[in-house]
């Protein structure tokens, strides 16, 4: 009970845009849609009109002329969808390179400004909400989220983790440096050993107004000296984080490549698994039984492979990437068949921000229908994000977050790589 004011402040950054956007669009506006994709119903309807009042959708139906003098955004030549959601971005960091010291080359202020640039690119690509799953400089993501909500800069609605919760030297650390190099303390905020320390650190992150916890449960492809297949956090450590998240009305998600680490995290109660590269049949069954989501970044392996070979990235990283890419895609196909919930997440930051839509084609190639792929980036993602009432659909009550594309994404999913127009909270931003 004593936590109530804290919870309110935790949720405020996400919901406060009602007030911000309202000042920009206090009037009623209409959007005419040539075709409207409704991922909740799984249908596409022709010639629709949406009424948006004070940043939220108030009504949707077959086109009828709005009252004279109304403000109408005419997207009758386009297919309109809800704003897309990427559940796995790293907006507030340097983009991936082969330099292990890359994160150390920029100040916290520079990183936050970079985050602003990446946020704009992401929004322009049609992603009106993201879950940003970690930054090396702690809490830069909190600052960027709040700056967007305050209207200082343009970007997607962000849910942020604040820092990585990781074991010393683990997949969430800046590794590969000389042993006598001291990493700045703001890059080690989430380094933990043991469940008691996990509780302390998780509590501290929520105090700093993060939206959820990001655990590094196994080694990582891109962290030198760690192995993706190897478990890092113990089940007790993961459980301590899950419990603290629950006490804050939130949840934990776990980066986990290896089959054993995936199962440890699922048994301990995480809401979602990131990557799930080497998931086995038992892990798929466990995810299904637990009602957990998988967030599988099945596009970026090809990008790493191409750029890594061109720019001579270390063989260790390229090997780990090769080892995980094909198996992850096989696991994805199996998980789709098994009916496990899969939310759209790309690991943007590993590849250039703004290319987020490139993963749709992979998801269709590896077993989803185009509508399932769209749902993974709308309704399914919103549900995982605990924001179904606000985003991910075109039903009344939702934010007026919409995109317009040329062509039919159900026939050619790649049209989602080329978004023509973007509306956020009833305001056309592109
Ligand atoms: Zn990531």
**Do residues 240 and 221 touch, judged by C-beta distance below 8 A?**
no
What would the mean pLDDT of 111-129 be, rounded to a whole number? 98
Residue whose pair of structure tokens reads 């119903």 in the numeric block: 41
CA–centroid distance, 159 to ligand 1, in Å, is 14
The single-letter DSSP state of residue 211 is: S
Give the 3-state secondary structure of residue 332.
Answer: helix
Q: Which of 45, 87, 34, 42 is nearest to 375 (CA)?
A: 42
**What stretches of 92-171 show up as alpha helix (H) in DSSP?**
108-124, 140-149
Share of the chain above pLDDT 70, in %: 94
Between the CA of residue 367 and those of 28, 285, 333, 337, 362, what are the distances in Å? 41, 18, 5, 8, 9
Confidence band (pLDDT; 50, 70, 90) for 223?
confident
Q: Which residues contact 336 (CB under 8 A, 6 or more apart)?
A: 342, 366, 367, 368, 372
- Quick one: pLDDT band at residue 343, thresholds 50, 70, 90? very high
Q: Which of 4-18, 70-84, 97-111 has the lowest mean pLDDT?
A: 4-18
The three-state secondary structure class of 184 is: coil
pTM of the model: 0.93
Other Cβ atoms within 10 Å of 209 Cβ, number:
18
Q: In 3D, which of 349, 303, 346, 313 has the Cα closest to residue 111?
A: 349
Q: What is the pLDDT averaged over residues 371-396?
A: 98
Ligand 1: centre distance to CA 275 (Å): 8
Same CATH topology for 17-83+393-428 and 84-384? no
Q: Let me know if 181 is exposed, middle or buried by CB neighbors in 10 A (0-12, 13-18, 19+).
A: exposed
Q: How confident is the model at residue 11 (pLDDT cuts 50, 70, 90)?
A: very low
Give residue 195 CA to ligand 1 midpoint distance, Å: 23
Measured in Å, residue 131 CA sits from the centre of ligand 1 at 11
Residue extents of the structural domains in the chain:
17-83+393-428, 84-384
Based on its alpha-carbon atoms, the radius of gyration of the chain, rounded to whole angstroms, reads 21
pLDDT, tens digit, 9 for 90 and up, residues 176-187: 999 999 999 999
Q: How far is the CA of 214 from the centre of ligand 1 (A)?
A: 10
Q: Which pLDDT value is given to residue 12? A: 44
Domain 17-83+393-428, classified CATH 3.30.70.100, yes or no = no
Residues 6+ apart with CB under 8 A from 176: 100, 101, 223, 224, 225
CB 348 within 8 A of CB 356: yes
CA of 1 to the centre of ligand 1 (A): 34
- Which is it for the CA torsion 329, 330, 336, 342, positive or negative? negative
Q: How confident is the model over 39-68, as a mean pLDDT?
A: 97
Q: Which pLDDT does position 44 carry in this prediction?
A: 98
> Ligand 1 centroid to 398 CA: how many Å?
28
The predicted-structure confidence for 248-273, as pLDDT tens digits, reads as follows 999 999 999 999 999 999 999 999 99
Does position 25 have pLDDT exceeding 50, yes or no? no
- For residues 190-203, average pLDDT: 98
pLDDT band for position 27 (cuts 50, 70, 90):
confident
Residue 161 CA to ligand 1 center (angstroms) comes to 12
Question: How far, in Å, is the centroid of ligand 1 from the Cα of 185?
Answer: 21
417-428 confidence digits (pLDDT tens)? 999 999 999 999
What is the per-residue pLDDT for 26? 60
Chain mean position to CA 115 = 14
Q: Which comes out higher in pLDDT, residue 358 or 27?
A: 358
Ligand 1: centre distance to CA 71 (Å):
41
CB 298 within 8 Å of CB 363: yes
The HSE-up count of residue 101 (CA atoms within 13 Å, CB side) is: 6
Give backbone dihedrals phi and psi of 374, rounded to 5 degrees, phi first: -65, -45
Query: From ligand 1's centre to the CA of 261, what distance in Å?
Result: 16
In angstroms, what is the span from residue 21 Cα to ligand 1's centroid?
30
Across the range 285-311, mean pLDDT stands at 95
- State the pLDDT at residue 400: 98
**d(CA 223, ligand 1 centre) in Å:** 11
Helices (H), 177-248: 195-207, 235-247
So what CATH class is 84-384?
alpha beta
In the predicted structure, residue 13 carries a pLDDT above the cut 90: no
Task: Calculate how far, in angstroms, residue 56's C-alpha sits from the geometric centre of ligand 1.
Answer: 31
Expressed in angstroms and rounded, the spacing between residue 91 Cα and the centre of ligand 1 is 10
| 89 CA from centroid of ligand 1 (Å) | 7
**CA–CA gap between residue 101 and residue 183 (Å, rounded):** 10
d(CA 345, ligand 1 centre) in Å: 9
Centre of ligand 1 from the C-alpha of residue 222, in Å: 9
Judged against a pLDDT cut of 80, whether residue 10 lies above it is answered with: no
CA atoms of 22 and 366, how far apart (whole Å): 41
Q: What is the mean pLDDT of residues 146-154?
A: 98
Distance from residue 135's CA to the centre of ligand 1 (Å): 9
134 Cα: distance to centroid of ligand 1 (angstroms): 7
Mean pLDDT over all residues of the chain?
A: 93
What is the distance in A from the centroid of ligand 1 to the CA of 346? 8
For residue 221, the Cα-to-chain-centroid distance in whole angstroms is 19
Cα–Cα distance, 271 to 293 (Å, whole number): 7
Q: Find the 297 Cα to ligand 1 centroid distance in Å.
A: 9
Q: H or E stretch including 312? A: none
- Distance from residue 51's CA to the centre of ligand 1 (Å): 37
* Choice between 141 and 100, residue whose per-residue pLDDT is larger: 141
Helix (H, G, I), strand (E, B) or coil at 364: helix
pLDDT score at 112 = 97
Distance of CA 300 from the midpoint of ligand 1 (Å): 10
């Amino acid at each position: 009970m004593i936590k109530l004011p804290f919870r309110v402040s935790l949720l405020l950054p996400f919901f406060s845009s009602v007030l911000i956007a309202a000042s920009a669009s206090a009037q009623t506006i209409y959007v005419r849609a040539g075709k409207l994709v409704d991922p909740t119903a799984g249908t596409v309807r022709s010639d629709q009109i949406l009424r948006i009042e004070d940043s939220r959708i108030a009504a949707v139906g077959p086109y009828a002329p709005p009252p004279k003098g109304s403000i109408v955004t005419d997207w009758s030549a386009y297919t309109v969808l809800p704003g897309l959601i990427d559940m796995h971005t790293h907006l507030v960091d340097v983009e991936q390179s082969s330099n292990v010291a890359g994160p150390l080359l920029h100040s916290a202020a520079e990183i936050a400004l970079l985050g602003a640039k990446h946020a704009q690119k992401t929004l322009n690509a049609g992603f009106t909400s993201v879950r940003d799953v970690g930054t090396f400089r702690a809490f830069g993501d909190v600052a960027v989220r709040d700056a967007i909500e305050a209207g200082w800069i343009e970007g997607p609605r962000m849910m942020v983790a604040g820092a990585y919760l990781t074991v010393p030297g683990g997949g969430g650390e800046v590794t590969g440096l000389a042993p006598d190099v001291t990493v700045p303390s703001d890059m080690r905020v989430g380094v933990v050993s043991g469940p008691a320390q996990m509780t302390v650190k998780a509590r501290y992150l929520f105090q700093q107004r993060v939206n959820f916890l990001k655990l590094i449960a196994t080694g990582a492809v891109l962290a030198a000296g760690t192995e993706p297949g190897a478990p890092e956090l113990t089940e007790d450590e993961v459980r301590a984080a899950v419990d603290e998240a629950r006490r804050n009305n939130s949840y934990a998600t776990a980066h986990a490549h290896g089959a054993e680490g995936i199962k440890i995290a699922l048994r301990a109660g995480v809401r979602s698994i990131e990557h799930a590269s080497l998931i086995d049949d038992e892990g798929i069954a466990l995810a299904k039984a637990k009602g957990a989501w998988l967030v599988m970044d099945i596009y970026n392996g090809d990008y790493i492979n191409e750029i890594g070979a061109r720019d001579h990235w270390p063989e260790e990283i390229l090997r780990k990437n090769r080892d995980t890419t094909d198996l992850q895609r096989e696991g994805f196909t199996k998980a789709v068949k098994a009916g496990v919930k899969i939310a759209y997440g790309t690991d943007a930051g590993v590849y250039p921000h703004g290319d987020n839509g490139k993963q749709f084609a992979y998801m269709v190639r590896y077993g989803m229908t185009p509508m399932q792929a769209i749902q993974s980036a709308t309704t399914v993602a919103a549900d995982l994000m605990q924001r179904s009432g606000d985003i991910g659909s075109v039903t009344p009550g939702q934010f007026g977050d919409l995109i317009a594309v040329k062509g039919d994404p159900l026939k050619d999913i790649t049209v989602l790589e080329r978004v023509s127009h973007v509306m956020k909270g009833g305001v056309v931003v592109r």
